[in-house]
Structure 1
Amino acid sequence: MAMEQLGASTMLVLLLAFIYLVLRLRRKTSKPHTLPLPPGPAPWPVVGSLPEMMLNKPAFRWIHRMMEEMGTDITCVRLGGVHVVAITCPTIAREVLRKQDATFASRPLTFASAAFSRGYKNAVLSPFGDQWRKMRRVLTSEIICPSRHRWLHDRRADEADNLTSYVYNLATAAKGSSSGSGAVDVRHVARHYCGNVIRRLLFGRRYFGEPGRRDGGPGPLEVEHMDALFTSLGLLYAFCVSDYLPWLRGFDLDGHEKMVKEANATLNRLHDAVIDERWGQWKSGEKKELDDFLDVLITLKDAEGKPLLTIEEIKAQSQDITFAAVDNPSNAVEWALAEMANAPEVMAKAMEEMDRVVGWERLMQESDIPQLSYIKACIRETFRLHPVAPFNVPHVALADTNVADYHIPKGSHVILSRTGLGRNPTIWDEPLRFIPERHINMTTDDVALTENELRFISFSTGRRGCVATSLGTAMCMMLFGRLLQGFTWSKPVGLAAIDLSESDHDVFLAKPLMMYAQPRLPVHLYHAAAI
């Protein structure tokens, strides 16, 4: 009888212990889920909403269309095992990148980001951790700092001069006279200006190959470089199936991996030749003075006087810098000129400001930028209405959290919609119209290209935001300003208006902008600009 009682007692204790553990475990697991996930499509087992995504390419338009149909500013789409949370509301965006910046401080691990960062050795693409901290510190303290910005001012000025001269040569070549008006591919000009600037700052050279094209334009290697750069940028975080179902990696079902490898191989071939040569020059003692960003990266020392960066880290960070510099300024200026070609009153107002601030007897310089408020407003309006990409670079949640009264699971990819924020009708009146005046503050003349309230995204914000706002502002404004100051722009003959349609596959202008440029300054200024 005693044994039976002991057995019953033991069973009761074990049962109570089991119930306690179950309840305790249930509390632990259910606590984060007291709030629902953001609204979104019902996922399939294992694959989530990947079938719908594959049937509704491009994915970014499908996500935006779905959000509009649901009438929501935040959505959660499960792709494979990953919750992808898209946001189009500035208030919610500020909650993510301000209030909970530390929680959303990581990056996704994808095939493309791993390839382009050489295994996450750079700053922008690396997940949260010691390597990211190290490379971010290098960027902020040694590369994108006020002293370095001033140090390389003359390189940027040279490329602005080359831009002016190059467009002049394009404009006059067809007509054979200094007063002619020739067709100019604005996209080609804008992208190669950006490529020239970053190659001069990073590598100390405009050309990879033999220096000099007589008209100042790119050679074959520079064209190859820019094509590979823009291909790479288009492949980063491109909603690739194998990034959400990693066991499919290697099968390359959509050709994504092959395209990444080819673009990356081109960039590595062009960059590595320069970096390997320079590395050898410093190691042999042949080079002793700093001339550009590459020299800075190579010569950095740690606390013990040893090289701070490996050559692989230098190569990864060099590609990081290049990626960050080329697409935003070139896209903004192409779209701005396209919009202004259809709005002659805006063009006239911008030209009036340029003539009043800078005049006709000298070329615009970076020192003029603070006084060009309306022209900066035109660029801000372009960032708002025509962002360079549909979403910003994804942020990964480092822990379970709540945003806007919704549960966001650890590991979620949070993407802020650049188009959704900038075109949000609850924030902007007539959101699809190009109205630079909306950015003019009547109480101050100061207009900045940054947007700290996240009503649109220009350079992003937070600890994973762009650290190179000074360089980005200078490149945007010098490109745009020199094109406005140096030339009168007109639509091709017989064309009533520029087609402002977006591409089917991205948010660039569907067709490269072709405009006629007529020189408007004294001829000697264009010749003085040639270098």
Structure 2
Amino acid sequence: METLFLVREIAASILIYLVTLFSMRTVFKRHARKLPPGPRGWPVVGALPLMGSMPHVTLAKMAKKYGPVMYLKMGTNNMVVASTPAAARAFLKTLDLNFSNRPPNAGATHLAYDAQDMVFAHYGSRWKLLRKLSNLHMLGGKALDDWGKVRDEEMGYMLGSMYDCSKRGEAVVVPEMLTYSMANMIGQVILSRRVFETKGSESNEFKDMVVELMTVAGYFNIGDFIPFLAKLDLQGIERGMKQLHKKFDSLLTKMIEEHVASKNKRKNKPDFLDVVMAYYAEEDTHGEKLSLVNIKALLLNLFTAGTDTSSSIIEWSLAEMLYNPSIMKKAHEEMDQVIGRDRRLKESDIANLPYFQAICKETYRKHPSTPLNLPRISSEPCQVNGYYIPENTRLSVNIWAIGRDPEVWENPLEFRPERFLTEKNKKIEPRGNDFELIPFGAGRRICAGTRMGIVLVHYILGTLVHSFDWKVPHEVGELNMDESFGLALQKKVPLAALVTPRLNPSAYIP
């Protein structure tokens, strides 16, 4: 009996010791695992109600209070926001692999074929195959050079159409014109044909669909952050996504069916879709095989992101030059000196136009196409700036806030291209290595179309500036420079302007 009592005493002592040790370790871990500072938020919903209609602006204001690395409880999810170049570098370079995946969300599910595309796909062999194919045959340096003639040809159509508008005294609606032309450029590369033969209701509907996709995909959807409310679709976002998806799926299915039916015409000159469809039939060296859904999802990426992000940059840049006429004047003077007025701008001219390149960089800084970098999620716990970041924490990089940070940029609210001609800033490029200017993101999930975006912005914007004088219609009055938040940062009021030819009339003949 005494022995049994002794055993019980020893067992109780060991249990008390273990419980005490565990409690002390838990307290120590909680103390050691200090989360980044951030707003307290509300019960259940967390900081979601604080976001408002302009989350990038809200988060930028919060960062001034809580610091460059900020933690928010968003419903049942952890979220961290990086708002300075150093913080962005820590996440997108130092911890790039840990943050190489996208969090699940309604946009990926209902718009991107349940994340079967390149933008939202899990980081792995399927994503690498989609990325490799896109780079080799459309988005990479050599591929871009190969379809330079397509850009030149479509630019001719655009200039001819604008020239006709100028003769009729009609204003050019910039985003509609850009979407029409860019969709046709991309269509010729992917499908060997122009998507829209004439500018009109069909191309305008496509523009509306692209804008709607970029808008709804950028919403802070309650169901993404509070899963048990997802089925209720309280904001109606998922219902709208499903309807939009049907429209895009119908369009993409038609494109693919028509393309397969005309395959014999391209025996000696396969296009992008021909190359991709080859992987629908056979596996690659890693055993990956693309489904029809993968192919549709990839086309959706290329047609939407390829048109909207670049067109928004060009629209903002033209708007800033109309708002600041002295900048347009300097650009014209530089172009007249380098190119003259007897011919159109060529892509090879861009290297000799430092002031114009500075205008492009300044637009990337002040009006990044994706104000909040596409979200990523941590695969395992990590530390940043001495703060503990738990596993499965969503990451947003506030690119918009970095571009407007007075600690990084002098007088950041001014549109001043000259800042990129100084010794300090002239080597800064928007390609993901200089974290003061990352309009396309950075790291292994940087926008796959970074190269293409820069080429299109330089060439199309440069041609439009060089070819015409621009003027805001008298009835418009003061130009509206308000933003509209989405996955891409739209101009709230689409830019419409009157144009007057500056070049020899022969330059406007397609």
Is the TM-score greater than 0.5? yes
The separation in 1 between residues aligned to 2:10 and 2:45, in whole angstroms, is: 43
Answer whether contact 2:190 2:273 (CA < 8 A) is retained: yes
Which aligned pairs between 1:94-105 and structure 2 lie closer than 5 A? 94-105=89-100
Answer whether contact 1:341 1:491 (CA < 8 A) is retained: yes
1:317 and 2:298 matched: yes
Answer whether contact 1:298 1:307 (CA < 8 A) is retained: no
Stretches of structure 2 that go unaligned for 5 or more consecutive residues are: none
Answer whether contact 2:111 2:244 (CA < 8 A) is retained: no
Give 1:385 deviation, angstroms: 0.8
Determine the structure 2 residue equivalent to 1:205: 193
Which aligned pairs between 1:187-266 and structure 2 lie closer than 5 A? 187-208=175-196, 211=197, 213=198, 218-266=199-247
Aligned pair partner of 1:472 in 447, 453, 472: 453
Answer whether contact 1:171 1:519 (CA < 8 A) is retained: yes
Aligned pair partner of 2:276 in 279, 286, 297: 297
The separation in 2 between residues aligned to 1:305 and 1:465, in whole angstroms, is: 23
3-state SS of the aligned residue for 2:72? Answer: strand
Answer whether contact 1:38 1:406 (CA < 8 A) is retained: yes
3-state SS of the aligned residue for 1:249? Answer: helix
Aligned pair partner of 1:437 in 392, 396, 418: 418
Determine the structure 1 residue equivalent to 2:60: 64
3-state SS of the aligned residue for 2:372? Answer: coil
The separation in 1 between residues aligned to 2:202 and 2:319, in whole angstroms, is: 28
The separation in 2 between residues aligned to 1:444 and 1:396, in whole angstroms, is: 32
1:173 and 2:165 matched: no
The separation in 2 between residues aligned to 1:441 and 1:98, in whole angstroms, is: 26
The separation in 2 between residues aligned to 1:304 and 1:463, in whole angstroms, is: 21
1:402 and 2:400 matched: no
Paired amino acid for 1:406: Y
Change in Cα spacing, 1:247 to 1:504, as seen in structure 2 (3 Å) is closer
Which aligned pairs between 1:113-512 and structure 2 lie closer than 5 A? 113-174=108-169, 182-208=170-196, 211=197, 213=198, 218-279=199-260, 288-300=267-279, 301-303=282-284, 308-442=289-423, 448-450=429-431, 452-493=433-474, 497-503=478-484, 507-512=489-494
Answer whether contact 1:376 1:448 (CA < 8 A) is retained: no
Change in Cα spacing, 1:468 to 1:127, as seen in structure 2 (3 Å) is same
Answer whether contact 2:314 2:457 (CA < 8 A) is retained: yes
Determine the structure 1 residue equivalent to 2:48: 50
Change in Cα spacing, 1:226 to 1:26, as seen in structure 2 (3 Å) is farther
Give 1:304 deviation, angstroms: 7.0
| TM value normalised by structure 2 | 0.91
1:83 and 2:78 matched: yes
The separation in 1 between residues aligned to 2:182 and 2:24, in whole angstroms, is: 55
Give 1:33 deviation, angstroms: 5.9
| TM value normalised by structure 1 | 0.88
Paired amino acid for 2:76: G
Determine the structure 2 residue equivalent to 1:179: none
The separation in 2 between residues aligned to 1:25 and 1:315, in whole angstroms, is: 53
The separation in 2 between residues aligned to 1:105 and 1:32, in whole angstroms, is: 27
The separation in 2 between residues aligned to 1:165 and 1:24, in whole angstroms, is: 76
Aligned pair partner of 2:69 in 71, 74, 81: 74
The separation in 2 between residues aligned to 1:444 and 1:423, in whole angstroms, is: 15
The separation in 2 between residues aligned to 1:351 and 1:268, in whole angstroms, is: 43
The separation in 1 between residues aligned to 2:405 and 2:456, in whole angstroms, is: 27
3-state SS of the aligned residue for 2:171? Answer: strand
Paired amino acid for 1:348: K
Aligned pair partner of 1:520 in 498, 502, 508: 502
Deviation string 1:374-409 (CA, Å, 9 cap, x unpaired) is 111101101111122331101111111111222211
Change in Cα spacing, 1:32 to 1:295, as seen in structure 2 (3 Å) is farther
- Across the aligned residues of Structure 1 and Structure 2, the Cα RMSD in angstroms comes to 2.8
The separation in 2 between residues aligned to 1:128 and 1:417, in whole angstroms, is: 22
Change in Cα spacing, 1:483 to 1:398, as seen in structure 2 (3 Å) is same
Answer whether contact 1:290 1:296 (CA < 8 A) is retained: no
Change in Cα spacing, 1:22 to 1:275, as seen in structure 2 (3 Å) is farther
Deviation string 1:487-529 (CA, Å, 9 cap, x unpaired) is 11123237664232334778432311222100111112212x2
Give 1:120 deviation, angstroms: 1.8
Change in Cα spacing, 1:305 to 1:330, as seen in structure 2 (3 Å) is closer
Paired amino acid for 1:509: K
Give 1:89 deviation, angstroms: 0.7
Deviation string 1:122-141 (CA, Å, 9 cap, x unpaired) is 22111333433333333334
Paired amino acid for 2:195: Y
3-state SS of the aligned residue for 1:364? Answer: coil
The separation in 1 between residues aligned to 2:18 and 2:286, in whole angstroms, is: 58
Give 1:461 deviation, angstroms: 1.2
Paired amino acid for 1:493: H
Change in Cα spacing, 1:18 to 1:227, as seen in structure 2 (3 Å) is farther
